Structure formats: C-alpha cells, structure tokens
Amino acid sequence: MTRSNTFTALRALVRKDLVLYFSNRRALIMTIAAPIVIAAFFGSLFGSGNRASRIPVALVDLDGSALSLQIAVGLHADAALDVRGMAEPAAVTAVGKGDVRAAIVLPAGFGTAAPRALLAGGSQPEIVIHFDPSQSVVLAMLEGLLAQHVMEVIGQSAFAGAGAPRADSPGTAAGSVTASPGAASGPRRGGAFSMPFSTKTLAATSAERPYNSYAHSFAGMSVQFILFMGIEVGVGVLLSRRLGLWKRLRAAPLSRGVLLGSHILSGALTALALLSIIYAAAMLVFRVRIDGSVAGFVGIAIAFALLASSFGLLIAALGKTPEATRGLAIFATLIMVMLGGAWVPSFVFPEWLQTASLVVPTRWAVDGLDAMTWRGLGWHAAIAPIGVLLAFSAFFAAIAIWRFDWEEPRS
C-alpha cells in the first residue's frame, strides 16, 4: 500500500470513529452536561460570594442569669448559627438523631463563676458541648464562636464591676448585668487573666462504642457504587433488546410486568449481595458495627436494593441506546449522590437545597444506614427511610414498565 493510500485509509477510519461518536447525541449531551453541572454545583457551594446555611445548634441554659441570657442573645444573633432553645434531654436526643449539629449546655451558676474565674482566678465553670461526631469541622467552628461570644459578654460584665460601662457600650443594657463578687476586686495580682470557662465535648450517639468515621464513609460509597450497579442492569436490558431477546420473550405467555419484574428482582438480589459483602468487609477490617436496629438495617438494605434495581430499569426505559443510557444514568446517579450528602455534608448546602434534598432517595438511604450503624438508633428511625425508598422503587418500576419499548428503536 502506497503512502497516499495509507493516509486516505487512516483519514477514513478516524472520520468513521468521530461520526459514530458525535452521532449519538444523547450520549454526547450527557458527557458534556455532567462535568458542567457538577462543576457549577461545587462552585456555587464554595464560591466567595456564597454563604453556607446557618448551622442548627441547640442551647440549654441551666443558669438563667442575666449573663447567660446575654450570651444566648449573642448566639441567636450570630449569622453562622441557627440557635434553638431546648431542655437538655431533648437537645442531646436531637443531636443524636442529626436534627441539630451540637448542643451547648451553660451550667448553673455560670453567671457568677465565669467573671470570677476571669479576674480572680477562681474555678472555671464547665460548658458541655454535645456534638454530632460526624461533624468535627462544625465542632471546631462552634467552639471558636462560643468562646468569642462568652468572652465578649463576660468581659463587659467583669469590668463593669470596676467602673460603670459607657452608655454606648455594645451589648450592654442598663441594669442587665451585675458584677459578681469576685469581679469587683479587679484583676488578680500581676494583671494576668485566666480563661473564664472550660469546655467538655461529648459525642452524642446512642451507640455504646465511640464514633467510627468509616461507618459514614461506607454508607455513602455503598449507595453510590450500588447505584452504578443498577446502571449495568439497565444497560443489560437494552443489550438484550438489541439482540432481539425481548422480542422472543414477548412471544411467551408472560405479562410485561412479569418479564421486567424479573429483572428488577434479580438486580435487587445482586445489589443486596454486594451491599452485604461491602459491609462484611467494613465490619471485619474497619470495625464498623450495627449499633442500632439490625432489623432496621436489613430493611433499609432491602429497600435500597430494590431502589437501585428499579432505577436501572427506569433509565433503560427512558434511554434508547446502551451508550446513551449509560451516560444518562451516570449523570443522574452523580447528582443524586451529591444531593444525598455522600460527598459533601448537607449542612454546607443553602437552606433551600437542604430542604429540596429530602425528595432525593439517596438522602434517605445514607441517613438510614447512618442511623442504624454509628448513630445507634432503634427500629423507629428506619421506618421513614424504608417507606421512602420503597415508594421511589414502586414509582420507578411503574414508569419503567409503562414506557419500556420491546423492540430496538430505529435510528
């Protein structure tokens, strides 16, 4: 073959590959849309002009003094916090369930002891912070904000004992704060100050064991990659249709529901087997434990397995070719996993997005697996995730059975 013929053949083969790739418009659109949407999503979350939603925090005031009330006012006014007054048992329960990220407990006698500890070196009152152990970043942020507000209020209160504050002093109201006995004597000898309080942090879970970060990681990654398995279920259905197998099966005295339902069931069994193997490895190697309800964990696992399989069949029903279906399914899965909180903690989402993510089934799957493992919650915490996952499974399956084409569409 001459050099000219070789070049012509090479050009023809390259052109053929390019035409085939760009002629599949659905696959091409998904390939382009996925990185654009995901990049825009993360850019909107962490851009300089974006503000994260306020962190929900419970506040328990066991002191009830003017000083503790001023601290509460400051925390409520903080733009980074969504402070909710609660009784201590309810606050600890809310943290354990994930309804709030932490609970601050101001002890009785705090208003008297804290100014004395600052100026006279008395014993430090202890502020207890019950925190969600999966939100360590929030804990560090909260400790800094708490120290800021407490020091501001206690400093104003303590120095009010040595001389009346100016009328325009920020955060000071006439008659709102009285100096403690120890504060009136001024700073202790040498002008040194001590920290007016200490903090004690307690992980708030119902589990007897310490928090295991691997438990949350395995929940998120299991959801993501089992959904990817669901993609293969859908692609397998389309490949079978391309080979004409579905046309032959339609000749059998079997209904549409039975034929497609068999794929949902086999896909669910595969998903359940994979989930069992993944969590077996997590338990053996990384010491992940089901500290909540075992029955609840099994129920969530079965419900999610059905969801993954029916989701794959739904994608198959909506996609025309295996290539386009795979691209569409990967795109949809990545979006659902992002909104489900498997990659980024949901508290960094805008408040409207946190609410919107409740209609995404992956959010319920991840939260449900967390509740049954490291949160150590009982069967009651599994009821809602199971119900939501089964409802989505039935919805996906109904649409798939209704929209599925038995013959390969004409190009």
Both tokens of 295, joined, read 């029955």
Residue 29 or residue 337, greater confidence: 337
Band of pLDDT at residue 172, cut at 50, 70 and 90: very low
Residue 268's pLDDT band (cuts 50, 70, 90): very high
pLDDT at residue 309, rounded to an integer: 93
Torsions phi, psi of 103, nearest 5?
-130, 125
pLDDT bracket for residue 47 (50, 70, 90): low
- What's the rounded mean pLDDT across residues 359-377? 93
Q: Which of 341, 217, 350, 235 is nearest to 285 (CA)?
A: 217
Question: pTM for this one?
Answer: 0.75
pLDDT in the model for residue 328: 76
Whether 254 shows a pLDDT value over 70: the answer reads: no
Quote the CA–CA distance of 241 and 405 in Å, as a whole number. Answer: 9
Domains of the chain by start residue, with CATH: 55-203 (3.40.1710), 213-403 (no CATH)
Mean pLDDT over 332-357 rounds to: 78
Per-residue pLDDT band for 63 (boundaries 50, 70, 90) equals very high
- Mean per-residue pLDDT, 356-363: 90
Per-residue pLDDT, averaged over 99-113, amounts to 92
Average pLDDT across the chain, whole number: 81
365 with 340: CB under 8 angstroms?
Answer: yes
Burial group, residue 12, by CB count within 10 angstroms (0-12, 13-18, 19+): exposed
Dihedral sign of CA atoms 148, 153, 158, 159 in order? positive
Higher pLDDT, residue 369 or 121: 369
pLDDT band of residue 138 (cuts 50, 70, 90) is confident
Looking at the chain, the whole-number percentage of residues with pLDDT higher than 70 is 77
Which conformational region is residue 166 in: left (phi greater than 0), alpha (psi within -120 to 50 degrees), or beta? beta
Residue 87 has pLDDT above 90, yes or no: yes
For the ranges 23-27, 138-142, 158-162, 181-185, the maximum mean pLDDT occurs at 138-142
pLDDT score, position 303: 98
Residue 324 pLDDT > 90, yes or no? no
Label residues 373-391 b or e (16+ Cβ within 10 Å = b): bbbbbeeebbeebbebbbe
Residue 105 has pLDDT above 80, yes or no: yes
Q: What would the mean pLDDT of 4-16 be, rounded to a whole number?
A: 76
Residue 10 confidence (pLDDT) above 60: yes
Question: What pLDDT is stored for residue 308 in this prediction?
Answer: 94
Mean pLDDT of 296-311: 96
CB atoms within 10 A of CB 176: 15
Is the pLDDT at 340 greater than 80? The verdict is yes
More confident position, 351 or 197: 197
Q: Please give the pLDDT value at position 175.
A: 35
Residue 167 pLDDT grade (very low, low, confident, very high; cuts 50, 70, 90):
very low
Between CA 89 and CA 87 the distance in angstroms is: 6
pLDDT of residue 341 exceeding 50 = yes
